[in-house]
Every structure is written in C-alpha cells, then in structure tokens.
C-alpha cells in the first residue's frame, strides 16, 4: 500500500496477472494523481546456442545477487552442434535445502525445496541431476553435458523464504577424441 508523494516505486511479480487499485476518500483534496509504467520482461530461460550466444556465457538466477522470487520455473535449453558439449560450473550457488519427503512405502527421501537440474535426454527423467543448497558452490563441481543438448531447469517452491541463488558459467566445447 502506497500513499503520499512517493516516486519511483518498483514492483515485481512472477505472475502474468496483477491488480492495481486506486482509492481516494470523498473529502480528500484534489491532486495531479499518478503515472504508472508497466513493463513486461522474461525473468529467466530461453534457448542458448553457440551460433547466437557465443561460445561462453553467464547464467544467473533471477534478480541475482538479490534473493530470487518464489514460484519460479525457468528453463534454459542449450543446443550445440555435433561433436560439441556444454561445460557448466558455478561461482556462487545457494538454493533452498533438501527437505524430507515421505514415500508411499513409509520411508523418507530428501528432495530439494528449490533446485537447479540438468537433463541430458529429454525423454528420460532418470538422466536428470538435481542440485540444491550449496552443492555446486565450489570449483570442484563441473558439469559436462552427455550430448549436444542440455536442459537446465531452475525450480523454486511457493515458500517466500528464498536464497541468493546462483551465478554460473557455461561454455560450448569440442569433444576430445
């Protein structure tokens, strides 16, 4: 809720819908009113190829280095030429922790509340690796795609508590014989 003479108020939503309501009391003095600029932009995701994006680049969680918003699903699809792979490493990586998730058989599995996942074969979900917490936050973890295509998905839950996110680097490289 805003009132008075405020200017340059920014508001972000990760929804395709929002409602702006203006209320004024009947006995309030008249004034010039307000001016609103609404901009829509893609928060995250897209197709990345060496032909259009160059041989290397940076992938960041939305709003990095600030906390990322809840309820996100971002998909980056890396598509390279034959005999080319994608190398992926992170400089900073801090997502939600693994949390217990009960299985139907009575056991519990730990699942990521927020995650960055890598899928090599689009029709085989078993070929997906999920990372969360600080699991990629060092120089030891480098991910190599197993084929010319790679799907990177950033998924966040609906809990408003979020973390700083990630800053990662990618590079398209030729396979070594």
Q: Specify the CATH number for the domain of residue 154.
A: 2.60.120.290
Give the span between the Cα atoms of 143 and 155, in whole angstroms.
Answer: 18
In this prediction, residue 122 carries a pLDDT of: 60
The answer to whether position 3 is within a domain reads: no
133-151 CB burial, b ≥16 within 10 A, e <16: bebbbeeeeebebeebebb
In this prediction, residue 174 carries a pLDDT of: 87
In this prediction, residue 26 carries a pLDDT of: 80
Show the tokens assigned to 39.
């901009």
**How many domains in the chain?**
1
The answer to whether position 6 is within a domain reads: no
In this prediction, residue 12 carries a pLDDT of: 62
The answer to whether position 9 is within a domain reads: no
Q: Which residue segment(s) compose the domain that 73 sits in?
A: 46-174
The answer to whether position 162 is within a domain reads: yes
The answer to whether position 33 is within a domain reads: no
The answer to whether position 150 is within a domain reads: yes
The answer to whether position 17 is within a domain reads: no
Q: Decide if 19 contacts 76 (C-beta within 8 A).
A: no
pLDDT in tens, the chain (177 residues): 677 666 677 666 655 667 778 787 788 777 777 777 776 655 789 999 998 888 999 999 999 999 998 888 999 999 988 888 899 999 999 999 888 888 788 888 888 899 999 998 665 556 788 899 999 877 667 888 888 889 999 999 988 778 999 999 999 998 765
Does the predicted model carry a pTM greater than 0.75?
Answer: no
Distance of CA 140 to the CA centre of its chain: 22
The answer to whether position 146 is within a domain reads: yes
In this prediction, residue 102 carries a pLDDT of: 81
- The closest alpha carbon to 145, from 133, 159, 129, 124, belongs to 129
H-type helices in the chain, by residue range? 50-53
Q: Is 91 helix (H, G, I), strand (E, B) or coil?
A: strand
DSSP letters spanning 45-84: -EEE-HHHH-SEEEEE-TTTTSPPPSS-EEEEEEE--TTE
* DSSP code of residue 29: P
């Amino acid at each position: 809720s805003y009132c008075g003479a405020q200017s340059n108020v920014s508001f972000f939503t990760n929804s395709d819908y929002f409602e702006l309501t203006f209320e004024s009391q009947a006995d309030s003095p008249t004034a010039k009113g307000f001016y609103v600029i609404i901009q829509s932009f893609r928060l995250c995701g897209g197709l990345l190829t060496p032909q259009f994006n160059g041989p290397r680049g940076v992938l960041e969680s939305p709003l990095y280095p600030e906390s990322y918003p809840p309820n996100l699903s971002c998909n980056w699809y890396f598509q390279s030429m034959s005999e080319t792979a994608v190398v992926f490493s992170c400089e900073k990586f801090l997502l939600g922790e693994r949390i217990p998730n009960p299985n139907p058989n009575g056991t519990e599995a730990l699942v990521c509340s927020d995650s960055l996942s890598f899928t090599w074969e689009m029709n085989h979900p078993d070929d997906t690796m999920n990372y969360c917490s600080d699991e990629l936050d060092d120089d030891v973890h480098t991910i190599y795609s197993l084929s010319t295509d790679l799907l990177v998905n950033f998924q966040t839950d609906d809990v408003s508590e979020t973390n700083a996110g990630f800053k990662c680097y990618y590079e398209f490289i030729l396979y070594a014989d």
